[in-house]
Structure formats: structure tokens, C-alpha cells
Amino acid sequence: MEITITYSFPRKLFNFTLLLIWVSHLQATDQSFTNFIFGDSLVDVGNNNYLFTLSKADSSPYGIDFRPSNGQPTGRFTNGRTISDIVGEALGAKSATTPYLEPNTEVNTIHSGINYASGSAGIFDDTGLLFIGRVPLGEQVSYFEKSRGYMVRMIGENGTKEMLKKSMFTITIGSNDILNYIQPSIPFFSQDKLPTGVLQDSMVFHLTTHLKRLHELGARKFVVVGVGPLGCIPFARALNLIPAGKCSDQVNQIVRGYNMKLRHSLATLNTEYHNTTFVYANSYDLFLKLVLNYRQFGLENADKPCCGGYFPPFTCFKGPNQNSSQAACEDRSKFVFWDAYHPTEAANLIVAKALLDGDQTVATPFNIRYLNNL
């Protein structure tokens, strides 16, 4: 006698079961690149759009060459993609990371990561105070801790730990701390300046503290970007009356000292933490080479910003005729600098490619692509 047993599932329960199976399959097969990005305006993708701040890039012609937005400003402080955007694309990201402060972006945390960077932010909490709103690095790390809580609710503690072990954590910060240091003192906002060596040591100490906190939260693959040659940006050159074709060695000397100490600190962390890698990205030498030898890279101008003035107030904005892009140079692909502070997408492409595939003079102990494949 053959007995047949049938099960009757309520339709809603059946559909929900299928959904769980589908989500589990996606999580098992999705190899999308996941990146958690911390930093300043070099990698901000729109967090400052949601702050009351003087540091914004939410108006034209910012983003004029950013294809996903059809040339509309997104909050990126350049004409197109940031270095992090370009690296993400090369490593398989299905889309650019979304800003943490944008509403309803939590779901992206698990699949692609989140961007916490904020224009004018620094390692120190008081860096960028004149711009009013910004998210200092310590607060960015606290935001990540909240994101981690969301991950745990969605995929559990073990699932979160496994996902974070494979994810990349990119930190691009420190420029504003040094720029604030070199600027002339402003009444009521000025403080006694630290000796240069103390400034550098303090920056490294605080940054290292934040890296250790991220490690405690589960980060295992770090890319820490050194500060670029700030003495070569149009703002610093105008501030120090440096002629065309030259850089402020005084400013660059501060940067080099900081980068050297940062690199040493990261090497120490690599020996202290097992199953964790801290890559030092040598943006200083990369960008200095680009500025001094720009024609070798197919560029035509490494002095003037493509958009905005060469002297204060260095403003980059669209002119009164909203149908005209006259505020920006005609061929953005030929300029190193987009505005007085930030590189163009063309410059970002050159630096990103080197960080992805360069040798140990560019990234140590190895490049970003190698780190991603670990």
C-alpha cells in the first residue's frame, strides 16, 4: 500500500521561503567588490550634500563628466570620478559606493560598501571648523559601527565577520589637517601652532587609533593613502606666491615628514596584527611625478585649475548662463587640477591605475589589486 503525503504551504509562506533561498543564493554567488571608504573631499561622493556646510560640490559644473549622473553634480569635488570610483570599477564593483548620509542606503552596505567621507574633514575633530559642517574621521568610524550593527541584523555576527574579512577599507585623509596648519591664522579661530614634528606625530597617532578601532570592528584589508604634494596645488602655491612650474617645498616638506612617519606606523601594524594587511598608498610620489612631468602623461596644464580662480576666493561655479560651461576649461582631460584643491578625473585615472597595478614604490607591501585577491 503506497501512502502519499502532501504538504500544503500557505502561499505567503511559500513565497517568503523562495525569497530567502534567492537571497542566500545571491549572497553565495555575488563576487562584487565591497569597499568602505573614509576620508575627505578627495573621496566624498555626496555626504556633505546632507550637511549645513560651506564645503559643498552640489552645483554645476562639478560632476560635469560623471556619466552615471548624466553630468549632474553628485557631491564629488571633481569633474568626474574619484580615485575610489575608478578603483572600484576596475575591481568589479557593480556601482559606485553611496554616501552614508543619503537616506535608505543601508541595503548597499552588504553588497557594495558605503562611503563615509566628508569634504573639509580631517584626522583631528576640529579640522575644517571654518566650513561649519563636516564629519571628522572619528565620527566616520562611528558611522561604520552603526552600519556594522545593520549587517549583524541582516546576516548575523558570523556572516558579518566573514564579509568584512573580504572587504576593503580605504582611508584617504590628512590633507585638510596640514592645509589648516599652513594657512594664515584667523582671529578668534586661531590656536597656537604646534611644532611641525608634533603635528605629524599627533596626526599619525590619532589615525592609527582609528585604524585599530576599525580592526576591532572586523576590518582586515586596509588601504591607507598618504597625503599628496600639497605644496603643488594651486591654493598652496597662490598662498605662498610660488611661480608657475614650481611647488612650495616648505609645505611639501611637512607632508613628506608626515608620510614617512605614517608609513613606519603601518609597517609596525603589519607586524602586530595577524591576518590583516595595511597597504600604504604612496600618492605623494605619484602625484608629484604627474605634476612635474604632466606632458609625458598626455596632459597640457599642471598650474592653473580648470575651474575657478587661481587666486582667492578660488571659487568654482557655473556662470550666469546656465546653458554654458564657460566656468570650466574647454578640455578637462588636459588639466591636472580641477579646482584650486582637487585633481581632475584625468589625473585621478593616472593615479588610480598606478595604485592598482604598481610596484612597491607605489604601494607597499603590495598594490591594491593584489590586496583585493588575497
295 contacts 321 by C-beta, under 8 angstroms: no
Distance CA 48, CA 50 (A): 5
Q: Is 339 a catalytic residue?
A: yes
225 contacts 259 by C-beta, under 8 angstroms: no
Neighbours of 18 (CB within 10 A): 10
Neighbours of 229 (CB within 10 A): 25
Distance CA 200, CA 273 (A): 23
Active site residue: 125, 175, 339, 359, which one? 339
SS3 302: coil
Active site residue: 85, 175, 342, 359, which one? 342
Q: Is 357 a catalytic residue?
A: no
Distance CA 227, CA 248 (A): 15
Distance CA 218, CA 206 (A): 19
Distance CA 80, CA 62 (A): 8
SS3 109: helix
Distance CA 183, CA 191 (A): 12
Active site residue: 41, 120, 147, 175, which one? 41
39 contacts 172 by C-beta, under 8 angstroms: yes
Secondary structure, 3-state, 49-68: HHCCECCCCCCCCCCCCCHH
Cell matching residue 295: 606632458
238 contacts 312 by C-beta, under 8 angstroms: yes
Distance CA 156, CA 319 (A): 51
Q: What is the CA radius of gyration of the chain?
A: 22
350 contacts 320 by C-beta, under 8 angstroms: no
Distance CA 58, CA 72 (A): 9
Distance CA 89, CA 87 (A): 5
SS3 185: coil
Which positions are annotated as active-site residues?
Answer: 41, 339, 342
